[in-house]
Structure 1
Amino acid sequence: MSTGQGPVRTVELRHLRAFLAVAEAGNVTRAAAALRLTQPAVSRTLAALEQHLGVRLVDRSTHHLSLTPEGVVFRDKAAAAVAAFDEAVDPGGLRHWPLRLGHAWSALGPYTTPLLRSWQQRHPETPLELLRIDDRTAGLTRGEVDAALLRGPVDAPGLVTEVLLSEDRVAAVTADGPLAAHATLRLADLAGGPIVLNTVSGTTTVDLWPRGARPAATVTVANTDDWLTAIAAGRGSGVSAASTADMHPHAGVAYRPLVDAPAVPLLLARRDAPGHPTLPELASLAHEIIGRNIAP
């Protein structure tokens, strides 16, 4: 591929920032405006990066640019590298290096507040920042957090996980609907109507139901707030971990035990690379609090 300039010998931050801006904007013109560069400069920088890597990162066959499969993989790597650099040169971070703990929903359930309070007492010099990020790995693969609380199986490469506990599942149904009159529910009770699925960060899919008895209709949403809103509006029912009932009460949603669904593992995940020096202490404290059943 011809770039109009010699091959780049060393990938610099400007190459990564240009690529990430294009990936975010889906358009070179908007990316250039965000970077305060000219469109030709961004195009040349992106082409030089692709030439260095030897792969196409962006599909230019349509007006709205999209990432190639290689571009999708590289986006997370580039985002993690840029985030690590920005963090390393942040003057405030040199004085107080916070430990960023991501979660997509429900955090550590009823143990969340005890964890935050105990951490503050034992490690006042290291703030523990709890960040909700609507992503299957809660921003961990993109370098937005140092560790993450994740539910269900996680197959993202380059992560190390350990199980903190297993949570029962609950059904989330419309508060004034007929299913709310039951003390407990089964999967078959929900299959008669639409199921609301959070396809971005949720763990429930139609595979939870036996083959031949799966729901006929689904409603897809992108985050927990929209999931709750759809259920409250009567668009369908949902399935989640028991902690959701503690962390996300909603006037229009009733939670009921789901007696025939398998439990959900709650994982503490980190990247398989050198990370924040207090990660071992975080894991130890989480196990300690859960083991002592310190919860409201």
Structure 2
Amino acid sequence: MRPPRLCSGAMGIELRHLRCFLAVAEESSITRAAQRLRLSQPTVSRTLAALERDVGARLVDRSTHHVSLTPQGRIFREKATAAVAAFDEALTPGRPGRPRPLRLGHAWSALGAYTTPLLRRWERELPDTPLELLRIDDRTAGLARGEVDAAVLRGRIEAPGLVAETLYLEERVAAVTADGPLAARDRLTLADLAGVPVVINEVSGVTALDLWPPGARPPATVAVTTTDDWLTAIAAGRGAGVSVVSTAETHPHPGVAYRPLPDVPRVPVLLAYRAAAAHPALPRLLEIAREVTAGAG
């Protein structure tokens, strides 16, 4: 298999082509990529087709509604991610002589109760290198697209060019309508939730129907794409959700009650970063993150 090219004097590839391709790769959907980029679906399709013509290889398999990368596309994704990250880094504003900020992404709850200790340690020990905490609603919290230097992620992550270290394991909780019958219980089980629809964040959540055993799964799912929409759906009585303890700590909601869910495996909390183009302060971030979470589950 011949690796796809990234640049050539005869090619007309622009940054917009690479961003479009990375959005499709991250979302596994032309529709969701178009929504993220605020473009029409035909525009995204045309941009992707133009990129494939210039690269000289098919990058995306469109044979199903759930698009996937071809082998050439997976190779090209690593190259495109590095190219976009290098461009963004070159344009990052900063004061002369001062290190550029280290951007730490997260999808919804960062490190939970350990977030503030991490930020305070960083400010005390590296005051000249700003640590920017950015909430980005996608599976890798902007890391795969080069929007951040590192990210706090949960669950299993499969993305080319990323390295992840497990910091600790986090207990799960059930999220139910505050005035519903399930909220009256001190704790819940998966079986308790099997009789109601389950609200699933398809972009960055850690819950899917396969969390339940076959034959004992909820009757329906309610798909959302952000944590805010997930909370709103549960508060409105459209279903129940499953998340982690840090969600209850960082996202209280008057219409949502959180209850322990002890019969479910805990969720790995990861600190992930790109194998290439690392920020020079990244090793220190890893050290501090390990230290502030030491002794966690």
Q: Do both proteins adopt the same fold according to a TM-score greater than 0.5, normalized to the shorter chain?
A: yes
Residue 82 of structure 1 corresponds to 84
Question: d(CA) in 2 for partners of 1:54 and 1:172?
Answer: 48
Residue 69 of structure 1 corresponds to 69
Opposite residue 213 of structure 1, the aligned amino acid is A
Query: Which of 10, 14, 17 matches 2:15?
Result: 17
Residue 208 of structure 1 corresponds to 211
May I ask how many residue pairs the two structures share in their alignment? Answer: 268
Opposite residue 9 of structure 1, the aligned amino acid is S
Residue 5 of structure 1 corresponds to none
Question: d(CA) in 2 for partners of 1:182 and 1:234?
Answer: 17
Q: Is the 8 A contact 2:13 2:54 kept in 1?
A: no
User: Structure 1, unaligned stretches of length 5 or more?
Assistant: 1-7, 32-41, 61-65
Q: Is the 8 A contact 2:186 2:260 kept in 1?
A: yes
Question: d(CA) in 1 for partners of 2:291 and 2:137?
Answer: 27
Distance 1:243 1:58, change over 3 A: closer
Q: SS of the counterpart of 2:14?
A: helix
Q: Is the 8 A contact 2:84 2:145 kept in 1?
A: no
TM-score w.r.t. the length of structure 2 is 0.80
Residue 144 of structure 2 corresponds to 141
Q: Is the 8 A contact 1:56 1:68 kept in 2?
A: no
Opposite residue 124 of structure 1, the aligned amino acid is P
User: What do you get for the CA RMSD once the two structures are aligned?
Assistant: 3.0
Residue 52 of structure 2 corresponds to 50
Deviation (angstroms), 1:119: 0.5
Question: d(CA) in 2 for partners of 1:67 and 1:202?
Answer: 20
Q: Is the 8 A contact 2:163 2:272 kept in 1?
A: yes
Q: SS of the counterpart of 2:163?
A: strand
Question: d(CA) in 2 for partners of 1:162 and 1:21?
Answer: 27
Between the aligned residues of both structures, percent identity stands at 61
Opposite residue 8 of structure 2, the aligned amino acid is R
Question: d(CA) in 1 for partners of 2:122 and 2:160?
Answer: 29
Query: Which of 259, 267, 272 matches 2:270?
Result: 267
TM-score w.r.t. the length of structure 1 is 0.81
Task: Answer with 1 or 2: which has the greater Rg.
Answer: 1
Distance 1:289 1:75, change over 3 A: same
Name segments (4+ residues, structure 1) moved above 6 Å: none
Deviation (angstroms), 1:46: 7.1
